[in-house]
Structure 1
């Protein structure tokens, strides 16, 4: 029996790599290690970079950039010299995980650091960029990224706008004359984990702004500011990406990536599976175990476990899922190829207790799951 272990990260508890190791440890109590293939995954959010580096052998590089609040931080990105490919994860520079709850501000957070990482990749000689969006603390439609890459966003007095999405309401001139010319020959693939447009009731501000500290009044203000920004971009470029599925990803970074980087927006899990050659792994697999922090009805919109299950089903390989929590509507995942899903808790637990015990709980649930699977295999008539 060959088992592919392909989880996403368990938010605030384990990276995808550590989660795969914990699941493998539990499975190894039942099966030999040489039949377990660890393949950490991601759908574009935090931890996707680690999955890509592990799969491709790309070099991890560290660059000092600015975080979502403009503070200096060290952020990782990946460099694959043989293919001149750079891997940039937005969450490394502008991620929500880098901010305390009291620091979240959708009005003023910036994607400046993402642009600084892209600039560093261009300096290294990048001809292709894999950009993963998800886990962002920002709602500036990529304005900070553009500023880092040489664009100037000016108010009526000719002054640069301050950081953040709210300031875009004051945009009077979009000067693209200084935009880095190397972008014209850069091939960009962008991983998104949502299909929301830039604006409106399903847009970046309305759906994701509250997670980033936005009040209902802030959402209205931000949506209007991003619409104003989109109007300027449509006028400057002659095309409009505001309704593109995925444009609302990462506070509108999907919109900016499509408009200014010529990026193809792809479901993050599909892009990652292509990079790790997941189809090849499935060719002789008997079972896939996946999971992440929560499975619910929204998981069907492009989250890792469902993407994994859909692909495995094409190869006739069953998928089981281990989740930190099973949320409302989780049963819908059965229709997408997840044969069974299990929550991790072994009794009443507070959230801090659950987070601390996630490696132990993952290993224990994986062991129990494999024991039942092995028993079922023995009982199946040949």
Structure 2
């Protein structure tokens, strides 16, 4: 079923459609309304919403707020009601305990909010919550997405590529995209990682914003217990980078890339044994650092402090996001800063072009400027030579 969108989406680079059914999960609260609706809409555009179920996890009474948002903006407007579900969960005391939330002196600081907000960690509890559902309803595998992502290629293509490689038989319970970052990985205490035999010099870490998880394998392998162990150890010994709790760092200690060999030392017996994870193509978790990566992305991830719905968002971020906004108070083309070097070169109709066309205009403009500058430089040198000859 096709739903009437506010604006036509730009043409994604990847047009091929996948097949079969799959499940996608989200874990952010109702304060991220714009992000939640945008990623859901992007799934509808890229895939077949009749075959892809979306599960939005919400803590306690926030589930009521989420239902209100979906009732007003999502159900049978951007996504079929039968395949968009709110999953209510109650606050996890064991998570508060290992994070030390009750001991924080400044619980409302940005650092503590990011470190203690249960929504940041609920992705690790999702398999356990699914296991409590009736068998006929629960997903066998799911793709977890942060709410600052946009899906540009049918995610079933990813599922078709890797789903058979995950499970109890292969002992691979999780998949994550290969990191394409050039920045040093903030591993935390390297000595512990090396003691467990994780060869951190052979890879560049992972990003927890896009994860593919096998439910039974995750639950039976004790993945959640390993993550909670490392969160508790960080609370007591500050083994993570600068002692900061996050949803990403405990994965470094709980998993290692399946294409590497685990070489543990004798002292590793004091730690829970890490399990392998599958590394899939980086296009399934691309940042918006530049247009080259944007045009190569299957899933765009607006990782970092600057989000496309924030005041300080870049023009490119706003341009991309404008195609997926669904509420009246979110970013649209009229909100894009007309004085920016990129947008000022485009007429109003051009703002609805595909990203590739947008990028081409940007490149052409600056190429023409460079050629004009080179021509002026040649003329200046020519005039100087002519003046010297006359002298």
Q: Larger Cα Rg: Structure 1 or Structure 2?
A: 2
Shared fold per TM-score greater than 0.5: no
TM band (smaller chain): 0.3 to 0.5
More strand by share: 1
